[in-house]
Structure 1
Amino acid sequence: MNLSNELDAQELQVKLQALKTEIWALAHSHKGDTLTLLTLLRTLEEAHREIRDSLFQDSLPDNRQTLYALLKDIEELGGWPYVARMKLRSLLTNFPEASISENESTAND
């Protein structure tokens, strides 16, 4: 990697860290507001999907050497990016068992 590429990579890291800090501040300012935080998560997931499906896929290598370099980078520097979704069971951990049982019996009536 030459000096120009290293400077570009450092500049990118600074910008990404600033963006991450801004997103975290936005999320923190809506602490406790489930619907707003859910909207934020949906927006991040949508941005991830749009970048992956357009810009990233268009930039994928077209020869073995660059594919190998990409795979090596993925392996060495953190793996494949993934936006995880919560499982419904995780949401239910905040409810007491009695409330769940009560809702189930009401639904069965």
Structure 2
Amino acid sequence: MDEKGSQKLTQESERIKALILAIAKEYEGDSLALLALLRVLEKLHWQIREELFHPALPDTRRDLYQLLRDIEENGGWPYIERMKLRSLLINLEFSEDNSSK
């Protein structure tokens, strides 16, 4: 990707990020709505990875080297972490402790 394409992608990504964050803030405190939004983002992540990213992976050593170099310099694979059940239980215990006081 050239410099112009990189700038355009950055601008578009920032615009999308701001929009998603605004939607999330609109539902602040509504765990079911926020969970639904996270599910949409996870599904979108999967769709981009499987349908667009995987087919675009390099098929030459030179291009693969460039991709690996970019990963090393700019960060690894994107990953959407799932919240662990243990974290949910800790939050539940904390809220029960506070409500019993």
Scaled by the length of structure 2, what TM-score is found? 0.89
Q: What does 1:1-109 correspond to in 2, within 5 Å?
A: 5-96=2-93
**Aligned mates of 1:61, 1:95 — CA distance in 2:** 46
User: Runs of 4+ in structure 1 displaced over 4 angstroms?
Assistant: none
Letter in 2 for 1:80: W
Letter in 2 for 1:71: L
Identity %: 52
Scaled by the length of structure 1, what TM-score is found? 0.83
Match of 1:104 in 2: none
Question: What's the C-alpha RMSD, in Å, of the aligned pairs?
Answer: 1.4
State how many pairs are aligned. Answer: 95
List gaps (5 residues or longer) in structure 2. 97-101
Match of 2:99 in 1: none
Report the Cα offset of residue 62 of structure 1: 0.5
